[in-house]
Amino acid sequence: MPTRPRARGLGLPFPGTTGPQNAITDIAGLSVGFCTLTDTAQKMRTGVTAILPRPEREARPVWAGQYTLNGNGEMTGTHWVNDAGYFLGPVMITNTHGVGAVHSGATRWMLDHYADHFRGEHHAWAMPVVAETYDGVLNDINAMFVRPEHAIAALEARSTGPVAEGSVGGGNGMISYEFKAGTGTSSRIVTLGGHCWTMGALVQANHGLRPWLSVLGRPVGRTMTEGRLLEQELGSIIVILATDAPLSGLALRQLAKRAAIGIGRGGTPGGNNSGDIFLALSTADPRPMPCAAPALATRQELNMEMIDPLYLAAVEAIEEAVINAIVAGEDTVTVKPEGRVCRAIDTGRLVEAFRQDRADSGSGTPIGR
């Protein structure tokens, strides 16, 4: 797959200090994998994205919080996240009609990899988190191409290294602000309480209308009107935030809420037909499942009075992740309506908008390549 420059590689002046990979995998031990399914003869353009928060095979939960800005979508397992403040296993993202198959595959993978957790006399069950966005413009979604084995393949393909963006995994058939988009990621480093913490974001961006698009406060979508596809929003966005900062379930729910601000910076108001669903997790303080823990447990948690820099890091990382998803896009033929083209954003025009802005302000700082 061709690799296009990321947003920072284009010279776009995103704020904040990133981790070494500028990706959610800057969280130590967290891995991301993809299974990408493309067959133009079958009108197939879809896939599965897998995020595994911990490297260990033993069953250790991660602390978590969830928030839904607009509920026209699905993210399984979050009723328990909201009640318990944790979950066990992978986070999976696919298309709307693939949720059941991916849940089945992720459950099978958990049964195989967390065997000790599921054997013995105690009752244990698998409840992976599976989220979706709609790819029916670029993929024959009703053909239900995604199967359980594709979820397993995405999990087996995971890596802690750089994360591919754009038309990969669950992002393969996705559109954002009427440009080809899909998977995007970014990270930030925050110094707080004498420690350096990492905040990572991964998005499956499939939301927004062209006139709404704003990049770093500039309403660029209003001037890039060619090749529009939609009159009304049909998509959604899933945001996964991950940090190594020790946060409670309450703090993580508050963090997940800030994803609404992060995607809002790109211009979306959260359309009625959009599923804008967010999950925040912390890999800090690894512990056994509560059923195997002592009656009295002691945890370290960051003082919520000091959490604002992490909120800002999340907002900045999400904003950049969405633009990374968009600038990675390639021109793609639609299947509904058939034969049109979902365009990649013209990165040259995008860079020129910022270069002209710098010229108008009298700055000599170069931008672009």
- Residues taking part in catalysis: 236, 274, 276
Q: Is 322 helix (H, G, I), strand (E, B) or coil?
A: helix
Q: Which residues contact 235 (CB under 8 A, 6 or more apart)?
A: 133, 134, 174, 175, 176, 206, 207, 208, 273, 274
Q: Which residues contact 121 (CB under 8 A, 6 or more apart)?
A: none
Angle at CA 65, nearest 5°, toward 59 and 67? Answer: 140
The CA–CA distances, whole Å, from 1 to 174, 328, 329 equal 16, 10, 11
Angle at CA 150, nearest 5°, toward 146 and 154? Answer: 130
Q: Is residue 205 left, alpha or beta, with left meaning phi > 0 and alpha meaning psi from -120 to 50?
A: beta
Q: Is 344 helix (H, G, I), strand (E, B) or coil?
A: coil
Q: How far apart are CA 77 and CA 131, in angstroms?
A: 9
Burial degree of 79 (CB within 10 A; 0-12, 13-18, 19+): exposed
Answer whether 171's CB lies under 8 Å from 135's CB.
Answer: no
